[in-house]
Structure 1
Amino acid sequence: MSKSVLVMKTPEKGCISCPIGRCYIESFIYCPITGRCESDKEAETIPDWCPLKPLPKKKKVTGIYNGEYFKAGGKLPSYKIGWNDCINAITGGHADD
């Protein structure tokens, strides 16, 4: 089965402010992706079981790339540039929005 990605702003107030969640019963929020319900009090934070995961941060591409850097497990600049290009492709170049 192929996979898909939905890029959206992370809800600031947990399930209550999530555009995916639905008001299922008065004082409960229903997540149609997981089939789980949260009470209003619990829905003010993002639960551990939430399928929304934050994007990884972009890599810093500055510094000195010498032998010691690579011995310590540092990545090649081309790896970091490729990483950042991938994040840009996912977000349309707006990873910080």
Structure 2
Amino acid sequence: MAKAVLVMDMPEQVCQKCTLCYETENDDEYLCCATGKLLPDGEKPDWCPLRELPEKIPDLKSGYEDFSVSISRVGWNACLDEILEERKE
């Protein structure tokens, strides 16, 4: 099955601040629309599907870096740049 990625601002540690969280008809009950699960009170649950993007790999200037590592770094960082690019649509 094909996969998709949604890039959004990471909400605070409280699910109720997330754009994927909706209040149900029952008072003080919230639903995660990404998983279809009811949210527990308190902090973000372990089963939350949102993950922070990894960091870019820093540029190595030692002159001793492996060529394959250098190519991997360039590809990794280019991929992150593409994901974070603002769309003008």
Q: Same fold (TM over 0.5)?
A: yes
The structure with the largest helix share of the pair is 1
Q: Deviations over 1:49-71 (max 9, x none)?
A: 001111111000123142xx65x
The aligned counterpart of 2:70 is: 77
Unpaired runs of 5+ residues, structure 2, are none
Separation of aligned partners in 1, 2:30 and 2:63: 50
Q: CA RMSD in A?
A: 2.0
Separation of aligned partners in 1, 2:63 and 2:2: 38
Asked if the contact 1:22/1:29 (under 8 Å) is kept, the reply is yes
The aligned counterpart of 2:54 is: 56
Question: Offset of 1:13 from its aligned partner?
Answer: 3.6
Identity %: 32
The alignment's TM-score, normalised by the length of structure 2, stands at 0.80
- The size of the alignment, in residue pairs, is 85
The aligned counterpart of 2:4 is: 4
Separation of aligned partners in 1, 2:49 and 2:7: 12
Structure 1 runs, 4 residues or longer, greater than 4 Å off: none
The alignment's TM-score, normalised by the length of structure 1, stands at 0.75
Unpaired runs of 5+ residues, structure 1, are none
